[in-house]
Structure 1
Amino acid sequence: MATAPRRRSVAEEPVTSVLPGGDVPYDPTHEFNADDEVLAALGYKSEFKREFSLFTTFCVSFAVLGLLPSFASTLYYGMGYAGTAGMTWGWIIAMVGIQSVAMSMAELCSSMPTSGGLYYAAAVLAPPGWGPFAAWITGWSNWLAQVTAAPSVNYGTSAMILASASIQNPSYVPTDYQTFLLTVFIMLIHGVMSSFPTKWLAQVNSFGSTFNFFALIIVIILIPAGTDRVARGLPKFAPSSEVWGTIYEGTTFPPGISVLMSFIGVIWTMSGYDSPFHLAEECSNANIASPRAIVMTSATGGVFGWFLQLVVAYTVVDIDGVLESDLGQPFAAYLVQCMPQKMALAILSLTIIAGFAMGQGCMIAASRVTFAYARDDCFPFSNFIKVVNKKTATPVNAVWFNCIIGILLLLLIFAGSIAIGALFSIGAIAAFVAFTIPIFIRVFFVGNRFRAGPWHLGKFSIPLGVIASAFVIMMVPILCLPSVTGSDLTAEDMNWTCLVYGGPMLFVIIWWFISARKWFKGPKVNIEHMMLGREAVLN
């Protein structure tokens, strides 16, 4: 009877380091634990304290996902493009593609639990000679998503705070200048908080994520229980035929395209589940805990996000009134429409606190991504950005580098609502392009040679990877469409996503061919990485 082969330690695997200057991440005087061995086999030495567990990693990830504040910030797109139909069955369709992306990403994370995440995976899995270019494109796209996350979330939070003031004092109308200053103030608070030690961050984000989850449950219960539609001469809930069957004409495109365009709300809301990948070097048992946290975040967010969509879809009174309200924040306008003022303010307060926690989580995740890329000299001034603070053992310089760029991006507030709204669509496209590049390479170039980690999809790996790739390829051009066409299209109505995302990415590609290809070699990967099934060892 055959016996199962003994599981070997990573330290026993035939790996060959190619780090420059003989900087092999192995110290014979240091007793490596399992996580250190995995990281060493990937070509890095451990630099962080592993004080994140499965639960605390999930907490940061769920805080970054921020269902309640994300939904509130993107209601304009989810409801405005296709109405309640896009919010109900549209969410289900979108989640098929999103969950496929999340599970395929989790499989990569289990095999390569490093804070470089998708960037590292793209470099390792790419065909020979293409690794640095794949890492370059993936890294910059992912960084654009990360660096726009905190400012877009905090902009939404600021808009809700000022809308609350308008609800209490109808004569007050927030100005762009006030919105900008309040958002910058929140960014600075998050910058200070994100500079603290990992253990403190884990505790704070555990609280923030727990609050986020319970606030979501409370809101899902309060909205149907507290709606006063009956007092307004309406049934307590809208009829299902209207909610599921009527597509709001929020664009001049055919209804099917309008529903697809409404997916920007789903995609942006559900784009935070990659955080466990970037926190893998600070997580214990990372090659199992981190992928589990990815799947838990996406699945939990998908289910509860749909419930939230349903309660809003069944209680909204007037979609036009929500979108065109003087409050300047659609979620606040919706709450005022369908429930008493005090309850509306209570729900808005819960959403604001959850939004603050979400912005904090986004700042942390972005700093880890920036550190990982700077460690491989991807940015100008990488030597400064990649410094780990000796007192806090966290990448403080990366935190403030992102914070300053985020504040500069907030100047788009003064260019109008369409321009600042591009931050949301940029985040959606940039994140999902970065998510899918290594998945696409793994499915269509590596195939069965892929060596999975302890958490894997088995026979479903290739089919789910195909679905994930097809979904993103379809959605990228859809998310660049303007809401109006023909002679009605003006500069103010133009969707600036293709310019604000495409411009920097075009610059990055030109930079690659002119200069970067000569000096950027990608992450310092181990060229005998076992996931590709290469059994030979270099001499």
Structure 2
Amino acid sequence: MSKSDASREGIHAQVTTVLRDGDVPVSKGAMDADETVLNALGYKQEFKREFSLWTTFCVSFAVLGLLPSFASTLYYGMGYAGTGGMVWGWIIAMVFIQCVAMSMAELCSAMPTSGGLYYASAVLAPPGYGPFAAWITGWSNWIGQVTAAPSVDYSLAAMILAAGSINNPDYVPTHWQVYLLTVLIIFLHTIISSMPTKWIATFNSWGSTFNIIALVIAIITIPAATSNRPRFSSSADVWGTIKNATDYPDGVAVLMSFVGVIWTMSGYDSPFHLAEECSNANIAAPRAIVLTSAIGGLMGWFLQLVVAYTVTDIDAVLGSSLGQPWASYLLQTLPRPTAMALLALTIICGFSMGQGCMISASRVSYAYARDDCFPLSRIWKKVNPWTKTPVNAVIANSVLGALMCLLVLAGDVAIGALFSIGAIAQFIAFAIPIAIRVFLVGDRFRPGPWNLGRTSRLVGAVGALFVFLMLPILCLPADTGRNLTPELMNWTCLVYGAPMLGAIIWWHVDAKRWFKGPKINIEHALYDPPVYHGVPAQGDGIHRDGNENGKSQAAPKSD
């Protein structure tokens, strides 16, 4: 078989091969189905495929971290629209978020690479726009990923010190103490994320299992042990009361409360980035994406209901001197020993969540450095010969995280920008390839073995339009007019927009001359003439053959 024929066989494997034995680790030796698919997508196998469907799901569910995520973003859901916004907002947002997740899973099945969304944007973009689409998607996704672990670790540090304040009322944590504890947590996550793949998979499996158990314990314990009298608020008050704390109409306030849901549910792309370490990747990885979003959405809503029915004084929760609304809520609702026990469970879950975020971000950094997106990419794309993990990328992300957490010294509003950045950056990165696939590629898209069938375009369109609706909402400050001060300003536009503007300027000034997108070695049969790196091929004599039912022909290897 010639090299061209071998490439062609690999391309066909991308959309037809499903391992008979299902979700099991692959054997060593001759090139297996996963490696064949990866070679067809333009990359060689560098990681060990020691993640299964379960362990991949565990990493993404750990990144989701429902209990610590809810604790970290309680201010947004409860603070903007009260209990009505919490219960209705979560349901409404999850319908659309699930559309985004399913559309992403479909892309993952067709293109299971660590580059994920960035790779899909390059492949699906119209001729001539592939590199730019990949550049924008990649930088937005990277910004969201690299801010995730620091924001989680900051919240974790705040919860730990809040627990200290509860036990010692005379102790008031300083900004420096919060920062130093955050850096210590980042350092611990760096060590764990640099371990061999199998160790990481095992650690996250246990961590995610603990996350699920702790979440169930919280959902059961809070209504069972609440010390409130009456024990629960009436359904009319919970479902029918919009406590609008913004200067906008009630509907806009509910939409603004979505930021908590979006940030909490932004981790389901992790299986996409772990696809090169997962066996049976074009089936297991998309399944993990959908399972994470569906199970996380359902269990997260149960937690919303529990809190909405048991909270008695929202203003006291949000304005507590503890500086941590979740800790304040637990003390308001439960006996002190029970509240401290649940706070301890949340802290442990938060550590596992930050770890999952660190792993996912390092894989994204590795994938983009592999395609020379960053300065000194030759350093960040190295895989450690002993651990077989991108240790350099882990260290780089950790240093950046420690630097970003210096925002805590500027006050709560400044450090809070990390949460808004994570929400908007990730959703923009999610939406770009989905929108290109739905509105530009249409029926020419070649799905993988996991796909949505006839509903594919409808689901994708709903998800993409929801993201576009939410973009300006995520940038709104709660106050307007004379009530708006620099301390209350929503700085998302600046903190996210500045680096993205810099990336766009960099593209037009310099990067467009040398960045050609991911190293794709196949033509995806979307355009005629063939397109490599989003640029039309010229004079290679390769074209789409109508007798091949739209399947791709091999393209020359491009370096």
Q: CA deviation at 1:538?
A: 5.2
Q: CA deviation at 1:529?
A: 2.5
| Cα distance in 1 between the residues matched to 2:110 and 2:260 | 30
Q: Which residue of 2 aligns with 1:461?
A: 456
| Cα distance in 2 between the residues matched to 1:149 and 1:58 | 18
For residue 247 of structure 2, what is the amino acid of its counterpart?
T
| Cα distance in 2 between the residues matched to 1:335 and 1:361 | 26
Q: Residues 156-212 of structure 1: CA distance to partner in whole angstroms, max 9, x if unpaired?
A: 111111111111111211111110010000000000110000000000000000000
Q: Which residue of 2 aligns with 1:110?
A: 109
Gaps of 5+ in 1: 1-7, 16-28
* Structure 1 residue corresponding to 2:395, chosen from 393, 400, 410: 400
Query: Percent sequence identity over matched residues?
Result: 68
Q: Are 2:466 and 1:471 aligned?
A: yes
| Cα distance in 2 between the residues matched to 1:474 and 1:142 | 19
* Structure 2 residue corresponding to 1:326, chosen from 321, 328, 335: 321
For residue 127 of structure 1, what is the amino acid of its counterpart?
P
Q: Report the CA distance shift for 1:216/1:478 in structure 2 as closer, same or farther (over 3 A).
A: same
Secondary structure at the counterpart of residue 46 of structure 1: coil
* Structure 1 residue corresponding to 2:372, chosen from 357, 374, 377: 377
Matching of residues 195-274 of structure 1 within 5 Å: 195-230=194-229, 235-274=230-269
For residue 437 of structure 2, what is the amino acid of its counterpart?
R
Q: CA deviation at 1:96?
A: 1.0
Q: Are 2:288 and 1:288 aligned?
A: no
Q: Which residue of 2 aligns with 1:304?
A: 299
Secondary structure at the counterpart of residue 448 of structure 2: coil
TM-score by length of 2: 0.90
CA RMSD of aligned residues (A): 1.5
Matching of residues 53-92 of structure 1 within 5 Å: 53-92=52-91
| Cα distance in 2 between the residues matched to 1:299 and 1:431 | 18
Q: CA deviation at 1:527?
A: 4.0
Whether the 8 Å CA contact 1:10–1:38 is kept in 2: the answer is no
Q: Residues 348-399 of structure 1: CA distance to partner in whole angstroms, max 9, x if unpaired?
A: 0000000000000000000000000000000011000001000100000000
For residue 9 of structure 2, what is the amino acid of its counterpart?
E
TM-score by length of 1: 0.94
| Cα distance in 2 between the residues matched to 1:456 and 1:41 | 19
For residue 259 of structure 1, what is the amino acid of its counterpart?
V
Q: Where in structure 1 do 4 or more consecutive aligned residues deviate above 2 Å?
A: 8-11, 529-539
Q: Are 2:134 and 1:155 aligned?
A: no
Q: Which residue of 1 aligns with 2:513?
A: 518
Q: Which residue of 2 aligns with 1:337?
A: 332
Whether the 8 Å CA contact 1:60–1:209 is kept in 2: the answer is yes
Whether the 8 Å CA contact 1:111–1:531 is kept in 2: the answer is no
Q: Residues 486-519 of structure 1: CA distance to partner in whole angstroms, max 9, x if unpaired?
A: 0111111100000000010011001100000000
| Cα distance in 1 between the residues matched to 2:99 and 2:60 | 17
| Cα distance in 2 between the residues matched to 1:282 and 1:398 | 16
For residue 12 of structure 1, what is the amino acid of its counterpart?
E
Q: Which residue of 1 aligns with 2:271?
A: 276
Q: CA deviation at 1:12?
A: 1.7
Q: Report the CA distance shift for 1:103/1:69 in structure 2 as closer, same or farther (over 3 A).
A: same
Q: CA deviation at 1:10?
A: 7.4
| Cα distance in 2 between the residues matched to 1:535 and 1:221 | 53
Whether the 8 Å CA contact 2:145–2:357 is kept in 1: the answer is yes
Whether the 8 Å CA contact 2:153–2:186 is kept in 1: the answer is yes
| Cα distance in 1 between the residues matched to 2:466 and 2:551 | 31
Q: Residues 63-106 of structure 1: CA distance to partner in whole angstroms, max 9, x if unpaired?
A: 00100000000001111001111110110000011000000000
| Cα distance in 2 between the residues matched to 1:495 and 1:224 | 35
Q: Residues 219-246 of structure 1: CA distance to partner in whole angstroms, max 9, x if unpaired?
A: 000000111002xxxx110011111111
Q: Report the CA distance shift for 1:244/1:268 in structure 2 as closer, same or farther (over 3 A).
A: same
| Cα distance in 2 between the residues matched to 1:196 and 1:298 | 27
Whether the 8 Å CA contact 2:441–2:526 is kept in 1: the answer is no
For residue 399 of structure 2, what is the amino acid of its counterpart?
I
For residue 424 of structure 1, what is the amino acid of its counterpart?
F
Q: Residues 381-421 of structure 1: CA distance to partner in whole angstroms, max 9, x if unpaired?
A: 10000010001000000000000000000010011111100
Q: Which residue of 2 aligns with 1:124?
A: 123
| Cα distance in 2 between the residues matched to 1:30 and 1:358 | 35
For residue 412 of structure 1, what is the amino acid of its counterpart?
L
| Cα distance in 1 between the residues matched to 2:376 and 2:327 | 42
Q: Are 2:354 and 1:359 aligned?
A: yes
Secondary structure at the counterpart of residue 297 of structure 2: helix
Q: CA deviation at 1:109?
A: 0.1
Q: CA deviation at 1:248?
A: 1.1
Whether the 8 Å CA contact 2:144–2:425 is kept in 1: the answer is yes
Whether the 8 Å CA contact 2:521–2:555 is kept in 1: the answer is no
For residue 111 of structure 1, what is the amino acid of its counterpart?
A
Q: Report the CA distance shift for 1:517/1:300 in structure 2 as closer, same or farther (over 3 A).
A: same
| Cα distance in 2 between the residues matched to 1:144 and 1:13 | 33
| Cα distance in 1 between the residues matched to 2:401 and 2:248 | 33
Q: Report the CA distance shift for 1:386/1:87 in structure 2 as closer, same or farther (over 3 A).
A: same
Q: Which residue of 2 aligns with 1:3?
A: none
Higher mean alpha-carbon deviation, 450-459 vs 245-254, is at 245-254
Q: Which residue of 1 aligns with 2:415?
A: 420
| Cα distance in 2 between the residues matched to 1:509 and 1:534 | 34
Q: Which residue of 2 aligns with 1:37?
A: 36
Q: Residues 255-277 of structure 1: CA distance to partner in whole angstroms, max 9, x if unpaired?
A: 11000000000000000000000
Q: CA deviation at 1:249?
A: 2.0
Whether the 8 Å CA contact 1:528–1:534 is kept in 2: the answer is no
Q: Which residue of 1 aligns with 2:170?
A: 171
Paired residues in the alignment total 515
| Cα distance in 1 between the residues matched to 2:351 and 2:11 | 46
| Cα distance in 2 between the residues matched to 1:538 and 1:166 | 63
| Cα distance in 2 between the residues matched to 1:275 and 1:166 | 35
Gaps of 5+ in 2: 13-27, 528-549
| Cα distance in 1 between the residues matched to 2:93 and 2:6 | 40
| Cα distance in 2 between the residues matched to 1:535 and 1:91 | 42
Q: Which residue of 2 aligns with 1:189?
A: 188
For residue 399 of structure 1, what is the amino acid of its counterpart?
V
Secondary structure at the counterpart of residue 97 of structure 2: helix
Higher mean alpha-carbon deviation, 312-321 vs 168-177, is at 168-177
Whether the 8 Å CA contact 1:388–1:396 is kept in 2: the answer is yes
Q: Residues 441-469 of structure 1: CA distance to partner in whole angstroms, max 9, x if unpaired?
A: 00011100000000000011000111111
Higher mean alpha-carbon deviation, 168-177 vs 506-515, is at 168-177
Secondary structure at the counterpart of residue 492 of structure 1: helix
Q: CA deviation at 1:534?
A: 5.8
| Cα distance in 1 between the residues matched to 2:38 and 2:9 | 14
